[in-house]
Structure 1
Amino acid sequence: MGVGTKGWMSRVARPLVLALSSALLLARPASAVTSAVKPAAQPSYAFYYGAAPIPVAELSAFDHVVVEPDSGFDPSQVDTPHTDWLAYASVGEVTPQRDFFSAIPKAWLKGDNSAWGSQVVDQSAPGWPAFFVEHVIDPLWQRGFRGFFFDTLDSFQLIAKTDAERQRQIAGLVRVIDAVKTRYPQARLVFNRGFEILPQVHQWVDAVAFESLYKGWDQGKQLFTEVPPSDRDWLMAQVQPLRDSYKLPVIAIDYCPDTDRQCALETARRISAQGLIPYVSDPGLQRVGIGEPQPIPTRILMLQDSPNRVSLNVSDGVRYLATPLNYLGLRLDYLNVNQDPLPEGPLADRYAGVVLWLNDRVDQPEQLRQWVLRQIAAGVRVVFIGTFGMPVAGPFAQALGLQPAAGEVDGPLRVTHADATLMGYEVPPTPDPRDYTPVRLGAQGRSLLRLQSGDLEFDAAALMPWGGYVMRPFAVLAMDDMSQARWVLQPFEFLRQALNLRDMPVPDPTTENGLRLFMSHIDGDGFASKVEFQDAGGATYSGEALYRVLKQYGLPVTASVIEGEVSDQGPNAAIAPRLREIARQIFALPNVEMASHTYTHPLPWMQVTGEGVATNDYDRAEGTGVQSTNGLAINVPGYRFNLEREIGGSVAGINRLMAPAGKQVKVLLWSGDCQVPAVALKQAYQAGVLNMNGGDTLITRSNPSLTDVAPQGVMKDGYYQVFAPNQNEEIYTALWQGPYYGFRRVLETFELTEHPRRIKPIDVYYHMFTGTKEASLTALNTVLQSVTRQPIHPVFVSDYARKVLDTQQTSVARDGDFWVIRNAGWLRTVRVAPDLAPDLSDARGVAGFLPGPDGVYVHMTGSEARFRLIPLGRAAAQNLPWLASANGRIDAFQRTPERLSFELTSYVAPRFTIAGASACRVRVAGKVIAGEKTPEGRLFSLGPIGVPVSVNQQSVHVDVDCRA
């Protein structure tokens, strides 16, 4: 941290610990690199030494990010094709905390830097270059770092007092750099200053950083400083040869207070005006700073008071609030306020806000009270749902702009004011005189719901300058007699206003190239069940009846079996060979993806793994359970529950016994209640498969509530459970009690999750039991026929799971007037406001757009897009062609004002719509084809969707020529 700008005194802040928060490494699509947007004229840099978890999505808005390697961050575990991660390495000094400190000969340590608690290394020591490569660089290279940020390059000034001594130190530094580049010639090197050695090593350097061009930090006095003009002139004089002679990018790192965003924005602007790469952050580099890109925080910290040893899946924050927050483009981190430590340090750089859903008084109210006040003081928006979890009185009430309401309930509680725009969304507010929180607004705030009884008057919900609150029971009303619930609050708009969310492109995994995603998956339950009707095809087992359906429609389907159910050791040993033969036939279909439904189909996951309430069948000491006939799982004689056997073992077993050539299991479909703990998710990640199921989206016309629409999934200790878009036929058949044709009602679910908002893709999800009854098979055919008449984009479950995981690492950033979206290339859609669209005249990485039920879908061509938003009418009036829709993935996209071309790869007969020009000639594989006029443009189809293609995927090259 800088205390000046001349000589040694300026340096980049000493790193602290950070840790990676999630294991979301995905295989990168081939198009992620080939369709990448060209980089800006100068690369962007970020420096982040903050505490765990590292905000990967926000930082990946930058081209290069320097991190502290001792944090444990693993660059190989993040898929950020446009961001490379550099390891901090101190060349001139070493602290006792480094693991190689004790190996350094004491004779090499020539001085102290008391401000940082470090010792200065003698660069002239003959063995130092080899030591530095072996003990510092080699381990980092082995961990996956391919770039290094060399700090303290001018620390020798502390021990070299004569010109001769300084020259010896400089020569030693040159030998260190030479040793690194000799061992790793492709390594990216970024210097912090090092002006003295750049004449000798500039050819090996990728960029140079320095601190405090306008705003500095005095470490000794703990003060922010204004850099004197004379110091700035000196720095710019050092910069001139770097830019003019060496052609090196130069980074200026300045410092502003955490809470002063305007200072950071203005300072970054001033640095840019000098032709330098700006990065403005806090003195400790503990938060995501401001550079040319300005990352938008897209995470919410959700604090709950859920009971111990109960699945996170059924908590209020997951069941209710996560769905509207996901729709608004936000990802969630969950903490239990009574069990987990509250995060310290700055939060505003990565969190769009904090939401507390509390049902009771918290265990440590004073600790929470002070923490909440610190967040509000730092500018973090805070929302309370349910209760405040602690008394609202005294200084706390005053700080919130509230006051206790005097009086007692005298008779019924009456609604005297309700904001019609935000209250009464699915049901009107119904006061409960036994359950209320008597607080009143002070001078500020906007009351959304005011109640009165006698002389007692209070505000049960309000928007406040710091966020807002909605007290019980006016967020979600539980209707216990119907086993249903309803939103009283309009959650989308309330959260938007209370959290003061910025309008931004929303990463949307429901859609690709304008069309709603379609998938289908089959849980393996019932694979051994016999057909119960006279089947014309002669099917004996359910799988045989379903095989014909899968082959007939040709739509992508992810099918699973329970390994224990079809094994020679399981309860169906007598017919197991025949069952495996049927499974092999299903898996051999080109439109079928393989999945495991575990080994014995555990039902209560929290119990059998010991993470929840234990049962008599769980042996906690051994970590394995004894399966019996009490319904916990399939009874495989002699088997004791083993988590690795259920997940990785079943994947390996199905691959070994039933996989056709060229196929392997790609997905683990959770069984039973799907309330899997993090230890189970970790096993799926280690097995190298994606995972899905759970969530319980049950919305129908008889239960038309958003409360029964699950979110995209849930993060648990760094492992993400992907929820099924909707539930299976069991819900619609009353758990197979009838009616057996009830699965037709899933069409209601599809409709209600499309309008008024497309909040889910389509998932035709059912069990193998469906093949046992004529009515259930008829219902399945009805559903598939209805779906094939809709404009859909068919994908496998593995494709959808990757898109959902990609939302967790998608960065959304502003760069001047442009939005910049980055991810791993699986998620290809962002949704913008209904009256906006991208300006295609200067957009990059954008194939087109299409208005949808609730916004305009923007089609990305790969893993990065850069575009401005303009009014929809103006965008549609541009005289250039664009892709309005396509039912497959777009690659190799190219555009000129009069032409465009792309590769379209689809799991079914390719279909696409071209808009924006009335007279265009379209060639597919070199052959001119005619299109059909539609409201969106001209639709080109290479076959009906219901006819299967001859191979797993069909790729075509499309050329569109709109020249007169």
Structure 2
Amino acid sequence: MKQWILFSGLVGLFFLFALCGHNAQAALQSIAFHYGADAPLDELHAFDVAVVEPDHGFDPVAYRTASSELFAYVSVGEINPSKSYANLVSADWKLGGNAIWGTGILDQSSPAWRDFFVEQIMAPLWTRGYRGFFLDTLDSYRLGGAKTDLAAQQAGLITLIQSLHRRFPGIRLIANRGFELMPDLAGEIEAVAAESLFRGWNASKGVYFEVPTQSREWLLAQLNEVKSRYGIPVIAIDYVSPNARGLARDTAAKIRESGFVPWVTDGGVSTLGVGKVEVLPRHILIVYDGRDGPEMHFRSPHRYVEMILNYFGYVADYVDASGALPAPDRGRYAGIVAWFDGPLKTTESSGRYERWLRARVGEGWRIALFNELGFVPDNDTLALLGLALAPNPSGRLVIDKRAAGVGYESEPFPQVRSFVALRLRPGAGESWLSLRDAAGQKFDGIGLTAWGGFAWRSFSVDEYAEDLSRWVVNPWVFLSQALSLEDRPVPDTTSDAGRRMLFAHMDGDGFPSRAEFTGSPYGAQVMLDEILKRYPMVPHTISVIEGELSPQGLYPQDSAALEGIARKMFELPNVEIASHTYSHPYVWSLFEANEPSREVGEDYSLAIPNYTPSFEREIIGSIDYIRTRLAPAGKPVRVMLWSGDCVLNVKAMRVMAAAKLFNMNGGDTLISRSNPSITNISPLGAWLDEYFQVYAPITNENIYTNLWRGPFYGFQRVTETFEMTGSPRRIKPIDIYFHTYSATKPAALGALRKVYDWALARSVRPVFASEFISIADSFNHVVLARDLSDGSVLVRNAGELRSMRLPLSLGEPRLISSSAIAGWNEGPDGRYLVLSAADARLHFDKVGGVETAVYLSNSNARVLSWDRNGRSVHAEIKGNVPIEFDLSNALGCAVTANKRAITGSPEGKLLRFRVPDYATTLNVCCGAC
């Protein structure tokens, strides 16, 4: 890499203007740059400006937020032959070549080169949406040889940069060093940076080094002159090994203490470094055997581990150990999980994975190993892991010692036939489960080590039978300690505005069925009258199957009546419209266009005459049918509720994404008193390449009624699932999920009413399914970062997610010094923080001082804004039902909603308010306003 310059701009409207002098210096906040093709765009949102290599195809418009902007790297002084426009650069425009980088050095005094640069290099980037640019190699003309006219080169650069401002009004430019240009360009350049102030990278030798004192002092003098004489912000970029995270933090601190904006990264500029802020990694790399289920949905770590990681706030990224294995980025990954049920298939893949694991252990990664190693280890690997081979057990195995974290849902039952014969070496770790055989040989089945921990076969998840499994080790404690997961704010998908979310959604199956009531009405009509109209306080997402309703479907004689019922449903204000496909595919992995074979033992879908299976027809076609024939004018149809086994493939997800639809279903969370294992709680969803399938939080009545064979009142037991996913840990929102046919039997309809009544007796935040889906998707993209100057935590890129769970160990949030926090509510497992924007700053007080600011304890509506002025508040709140909200510290304050004075009901330290509006402008005046 050459010499780099970055700039962090203002937020909000200031992004529209180029800055100069002391104003730019005041605006400078945080900076990052990443030149890899896999730049972590989500994480880069933690920084006000991120410089990337535009040739990798990033979309600056899609990336742009009020608080973060992509800048494009552009080389001004040299041309790389790999560039698409390199063969258009005339030889007459070159002064010579840079042998180190294999590039051509450009003649800045050439008007033809300057015109080419503006129109052929900068203009296309501007058209793509880039508004900020990092101009590199500004001083490469010095390599042109003794005959180079330096003054002419400098004048050419000044002319070029000034022309950019004329050609692209509002352009934001960052310069590479160019110290000699500053007298003429101080008003044109936003920042100046230089690399290797304290630590550097020698690319030719491939080593990191400490910068000699003399070199550092010279550079300090240059940078201080830029800062003091011209009032231009200065960025210092240093280089440290990506595995020396502590050294990177220390180096960033030294830069910050010197008065400059820091960025410390690796020599290849291809990992997420440390700056004024440091990203708190939210990803866990999960390594698995590709033979463990062809689809993501059936893989053991997805079924058992991912939900635990989601609860802790982490996103799981999967990699098949039989293929290429990545070197994970410490700025993005918090640890590694590996799950194997035996050695990998080939010696080659087994050996490759063993070497990869050893490298990660050597780099200091935290790793949790489940079931087996995945390879037959050699002595060096065992020594590195602190393990030793033990003889195969002889006779009966007994437990010698066990920790409190063993026996979580099932007692450990050592089985000689599937035993992993390993033990910890003395002093290598802490055994959680020690065993011995009849000959006195000792083994360790669960343990924590310096590099993480292990839970071998039979002592992780014990699978008794299909759909019957139990955790032996306590996964909450084991994963937390093995991966050294720190207590920090957790992006939360269960709650909003301090309350647990509630919604209902209906798959359209059985819409034409007749109900067992007087007159044999359609079940859909009963559902309309007895549920949708009866419970207007519950938002519903209601779907239909086109093939059951349309005149060209299976029941043309009933079509007019069925479509009429659907139209009445969709007119209700508490109903949003969804599709449940055209023909209700049963097995999505087998449902392929032009493959109508029925030889798999089960039909692909409803047997609609003359229909050739097509994902486009199922998804886009059914949406168009509903939109044109059933939906009221102006009411959108934007939700796809998956059908059948809900085991989607990439092709179906691609069609869905192209149509810009929300998607949900699958997961089958069913935990109950009779089957109380958390192995029955699904993760948030499943990644299928770049597409995310959102799981329904709770499974439907078909499962509770033994696949609709009875008892038909069985769905009333879903309240057990709601309770067990709500406490002692709140893992899921309340989702009442059912089919149309639940209205066809008195027992089923009665059970459904009991479930609704149970839910509405709780303090809930009613949402539509599309709102939950948006929040679930946003979970994957939220960025947390720690401001290293004051210890606060930044929340960025939160999308529609507005709830953060705070472990009690963090203390109480400080509202006055924080930003975009409306308040918080106590929950079963921490404090549920209410954000008023997608970007926030969180300060905490572990001492627990007295909070005097007025804050929102909870509401049944979303907080759109929450602006403080001393102890007074101006806020916007909007929900799906008449609004309720509770305020803390508001005693003695005057409160108005939509300019009407309202009075709260005191309850303890709270004031409880109720207004008839679905949206309100709230003003709280405490003292002089």
Same fold (TM over 0.5): yes
Cα 1:269–1:628 shift into 2, 3 Å? closer
Range with bigger deviation, 488-497 or 830-839: 830-839
Letter in 2 for 1:904: I
Return the match for 1:564 from 547, 558, 576.
547
| Structure 2 residue 832 is matched with structure 1 residue 850 | no
Moved more, 502-511 or 655-664: 655-664
Secondary structure of residue in 2 paired with 1:197: helix
The answer to whether the 8 Å contact 2:782/2:799 transfers is no
Q: Distance in 2 between matches of 1:427 and 1:289?
A: 43
Match of 1:466 among 419, 436, 451: 451
The 1-side partners of 2:781 and 2:134 are apart by: 24
> Whole-Å Cα distance in 1 between the matches of residues 434 and 525 of structure 2?
58
How big is each residue's C-alpha offset from its partner over 1:160-185, in whole Å with a ceiling of 9 and x where there is no partner?
A: 535x7112222322333234333321
2:566 corresponds to which residue? 583
Shift of 1:214: 1.3
2:339 alignment counterpart:
357
**2:845 maps to which of 867, 870, 874:** 870
1:742 deviation in Å? 1.3
SS in 2 for 1:434: helix
How big is the shift at 1:586?
1.2
The offset of 1:198, in angstroms, is 3.1
* 3-state SS, counterpart of residue 648 of structure 2: coil
1:355-405 deviation per Cα after TM superposition (whole angstroms, max 9, x unaligned):
111112113211011101111122221111111111233111011111101
For residues 730-780 of structure 1, what are the alpha-carbon distances to aligned partners after superposition, in whole Å with 9 as ceiling and x for unaligned? 011111111112111111110000111000000011111122222222211
Residues 763 and 79 of structure 1: CA distance in aligned 2, closer, same or farther (over 3 Å) = farther
Find out whether 1:151 has 2:158 as its counterpart.
Answer: no
Partner of 2:911, secondary structure, is strand
Structure 2 CA distance for aligned equivalents of residues 629 and 76 of structure 1: 49
The one-character-per-residue Cα deviations of 1:619-639 (angstroms, maximum 9, x if unpaired) are 3xxxx7779994320122111
Matches for 1:933-944 after TM superposition, within 5 Å: 933-935=906-908, 937-942=910-915
Q: Is 2:387 the counterpart of 1:402?
A: yes
* Paired residue secondary structure (1:424): coil
Following superposition, the deviation at residue 540 of structure 1 comes to 3.0
Q: List aligned pairs for 1:517-528, cutoff 5 A.
A: 517-528=501-512
| Candidates 699, 717, 739, aligned match of 1:767 | 739
In the alignment, which residue of structure 2 is the partner of 1:720? 692
Aligned mate of 1:214, from 183, 198, 201 = 198
Give the 3-state SS of the residue equivalent to 1:786 in structure 2: helix
The question of whether the paired residues in 2 share the 8 Å contact of 1:567 and 1:576 is answered with yes
Residues of 2 paired with 1:392 and 1:342: CA distance? 18
What is the deviation of 1:74?
2.6
Is 1:44 paired with 2:17?
A: no
Q: Verify the 8 A CA contact 2:821 2:835 in the aligned structure 1.
A: yes
Matches within 5 A, 1:771-810: 771-810=743-782
Displacement of 1:194 in angstroms is 2.2
Structure 1 stretch displaced more, 817-826 or 719-728 = 817-826
* Alignment partner, residue 22 of structure 2: none
Cα offset for 1:804?
1.1
Q: State how many pairs are aligned.
A: 906
On the 8 A contact 2:95/2:141 being kept in 1, the answer is: no
The separation in 2 between residues aligned to 1:915 and 1:557, in whole angstroms, is 31
Q: What does 1:938-957 correspond to in 2, within 5 Å?
A: 938-942=911-915, 954-957=918-921
Whether 1:316 and 2:291 are equivalent positions in the alignment is no
Specify every segment of 5 or more residues in structure 2 that has no aligned partner in the other structure, as ranges. 7-11, 17-24
Q: Contact 2:545 / 2:583 at 8 angstroms: preserved in 1?
A: yes
What secondary structure does 1:462 align onto? strand
What RMSD, in angstroms, separates the aligned Cα atoms of the two structures? 2.5
CA distances 1:933-956 after superposition (whole Å, capped 9, x unpaired): 33562211236xxxxx7xxxx111
The corresponding residue for 1:21 is none
Equivalent position of 2:813 in the other structure: 838
Helix, strand or coil at the partner of 1:236: helix
Matches within 5 A, 1:202-241: 202-241=186-225
Contact 2:794 2:842 in 1 (8 A): yes
Alignment partner of 1:608 is 2:580:
no
Conserved? CA contact 1:94–1:118, under 8 Å: yes
Q: For residues 684-729 of structure 1, what are the alpha-carbon distances to aligned partners after superposition, in whole Å with 9 as ceiling and x for unaligned?
A: 1110111111111011111111000001112121111111101011
Matched position secondary structure for 1:196:
helix
Cα distance in 2, alignment partners of residues 121 and 565 from structure 1: 69
Structure 2 CA distance for aligned equivalents of residues 825 and 570 of structure 1: 39
**2:663 counterpart residue number:** 691
The residue that corresponds to 1:95 in the other structure is: 80
Q: Deviations over 1:303-357 (max 9, x none)?
A: 111427721111111111001100011001112212x31113x522211111111
Taking the aligned partners of 1:635 and 1:336, their CA distance within structure 2 comes to 37
When residues 927 and 77 of structure 1 are mapped into structure 2, their CA distance, relative to the original with a 3 A threshold, is: closer
Match of 2:45 among 60, 75, 81: 60
**8 A contact 1:302–1:356 mirrored in 2:** yes
2:60 paired with 1:75:
yes
Q: State the partner residue of 1:946.
A: none
Answer whether contact 1:281 1:287 (CA < 8 A) is retained.
yes
Deviation for aligned residue 1:666: 1.6
**Gap change, CA 1:225 and 1:12, over 3 Å in 2:** farther
* Residue of 329, 332, 348 corresponding to 2:316: 332
Counterpart AA for 1:710: S
Q: Counterpart in 2 of 1:301? A: 285
Structure-2 separation of matches of 1:146 and 1:653: 42
More displaced, 41-50 or 381-390? Answer: 41-50
Query: Alpha-carbon deviation of 1:932?
Result: 2.5
User: Between the two proteins, what is the percent identity of the paired residues?
Assistant: 39
The residue type paired with residue 863 of structure 1 is A
Taking the aligned partners of 2:780 and 2:579, their CA distance within structure 1 comes to 24
Matched with 1:5 is none
- Partners of 1:191 and 1:526 in 2: CA distance: 66
What is the Cα deviation at residue 788 of structure 1? 0.9
Q: Structure 1 counterpart of 2:795, which letter?
A: I
Query: In the alignment, is residue 707 of structure 1 matched against residue 682 of structure 2?
Result: no
The whole-number CA distance in structure 1 between the counterparts of 2:889 and 2:65 is 33
Paired with 1:318 and 1:439, the residues of 2 have a C-alpha distance of 26
Letter in 1 for 2:618: E
Distance in 1 between residues matched to 2:334 and 2:246, nearest whole Å: 17
1:446 match: 430
Contact kept in structure 2, 1:837 and 1:858, CA below 8 Å? no
Q: 1:819 to 1:907 in 2, by over 3 A?
A: same
- Report whether the alignment pairs 1:593 with 2:576: yes
Query: In the alignment, is residue 386 of structure 1 matched against residue 371 of structure 2?
Result: yes
1:553 to 535, 545, 558: 535
SS of residue in 2 equivalent to 1:842 = coil
* Residues 814 and 845, structure 2, Cα contact 8 Å, conserved in 1: yes
Q: 1:739 to 1:272 in 2, by over 3 A?
A: same
Structure 1 CA distance, aligned partners of 2:585 and 2:372?
A: 36
Q: Does the residue aligned with 1:659 lie in a helix, a strand or coil?
A: coil
What is the aligned partner in structure 2 of residue 903 from structure 1? 876
| Structure 1 residues 438 and 729: CA distance shift in structure 2, 3 A | same
8 Å CA contact 1:728–1:766 kept in 2: the answer is: yes
Deviation at 1:51, TM superposition (A): 4.6
The residue that corresponds to 2:20 in the other structure is none
Amino acid at match of 2:559: A
Provide, for residues 457-504 of structure 1, a one-character-per-residue CA deviation record: whole Å limited to 9, x for no partner: 110111111111110111111121x74111111111111110011211
> How far apart are the structure 2 equivalents of 1:540 and 1:651?
23
Aligned equivalents of 2:530 and 2:231: distance in 1? 65
Unaligned 5+ residue runs, structure 1? 3-9, 14-28, 34-38, 611-617, 944-948
Partner of 2:735, secondary structure, is strand
Amino acid paired to 2:852: N
Counterpart residue type for residue 541 of structure 2: T
1:613 aligned residue:
none
Aligned partners of 2:262 and 2:275 also within 8 Å: yes
Task: Tell me how far apart the structure 2 counterparts of residues 216 and 136 of structure 1 sit (CA, whole Å).
Answer: 30
Q: Give the secondary-structure state (helix, strand or coil) at the position aligned to 1:656.
A: helix
